[in-house]
């Protein structure tokens, strides 16, 4: 059976890993990654499309120049994309988050195993926790970087607006506000860092104690050594 200190430390790390897993599920499921106001100019009037969307679905509203709402619809992101580059980027973001989800699940399993037992394999201990938490944080960070690139460089919001209302032509302006689903990924990264720090402190304390036990004579009194 593991010591009380080990159980406490790994149980704390398990809690942070489990929170990270739940938050990744929330990020994937919620359609609040981005809120955009996209302006278009036509032959006779200007039109503004208001979008709120995530990786899989969203809602869009169309307003004419006087501020009159014309329509509100719900759409699937994949159905409104025509540019293969934009599609590939969305797919890459989803893949990164799925890999992050699997890494978080494995990290939760490793920390739970160490909280209740002492595994013989070295990789099942702190090394495994470091590995999977690091991968989870890296995958999440890559997703955080790819999404703004898809917005600013590939015009994701503009393409989704044109997919909602096919008669829109010339884009004149775009304003973007990142939603809570996007910023939650920062919290996921912090949780992974917290898990690594917790296990590092436990591993460092264990290593220091082991070194002290390997050199007991250095700490012995001089009279004992002479005797």
What is the structure's pLDDT at 226? 45
Average pLDDT over residues 79-87: 88
List helix spans (H) across 30-83.
77-80
Q: What is the pTM of this model?
A: 0.85
In this prediction, residue 225 carries a pLDDT of: 44
- Highest mean pLDDT range out of 56-70, 166-180, 202-216? 166-180
β-sheet bridge partners, residue 64: 47
Does the pLDDT of residue 1 top 70, yes or no? no
Task: State the average pLDDT for the chain.
Answer: 84
Contacts 24+ apart (CB under 8 A), 43-51: 46/172, 47/165, 47/168, 49/161, 49/164, 49/165, 49/168, 51/157, 51/160, 51/161, 51/164
Model confidence pLDDT, tens digit, residues 109-141: 989 988 888 876 777 788 889 999 999 999 999
Task: Kindly list the domain boundaries of the chain, sorted by start residue.
Answer: 4-32+77-166+180-205
């Amino acid at each position: 059976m593991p010591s009380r200190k080990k159980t406490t430390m790994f149980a704390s790390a398990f809690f942070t890993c489990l929170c990270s897993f739940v938050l990744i599920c929330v990020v994937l499921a919620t359609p609040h990654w981005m809120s955009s106001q996209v302006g278009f100019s036509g032959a006779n009037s200007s039109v503004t499309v208001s979008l709120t969307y995530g990786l899989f679905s969203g809602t869009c509203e169309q307003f004419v120049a006087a501020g009159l709402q014309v329509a509100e619809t719900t759409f699937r992101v994949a159905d409104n994309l025509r540019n293969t580059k934009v599609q590939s980027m969305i797919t890459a973001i989803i893949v990164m988050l799925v890999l992050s989800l699997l890494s978080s699940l494995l990290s939760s399993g490793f920390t739970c195993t160490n909280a209740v037992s002492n595994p013989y394999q070295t990789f099942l201990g702190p090394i495994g926790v470091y590995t999977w938490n690091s991968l989870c944080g890296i995958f999440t960070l890559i997703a955080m970087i790819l999404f703004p690139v898809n917005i600013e460089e590939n015009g994701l919001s503009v393409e989704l607006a044109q997919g909602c209302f096919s008669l829109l032509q010339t884009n004149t302006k775009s304003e973007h506000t990142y939603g809570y689903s996007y910023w939650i990924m920062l919290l996921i990264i912090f949780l992974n860092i917290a898990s690594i720090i917790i296990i590092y402190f436990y591993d460092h304390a264990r290593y220091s104690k082991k070194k002290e036990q390997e050199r007991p004579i250095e700490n012995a009194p001089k009279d004992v050594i002479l005797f």
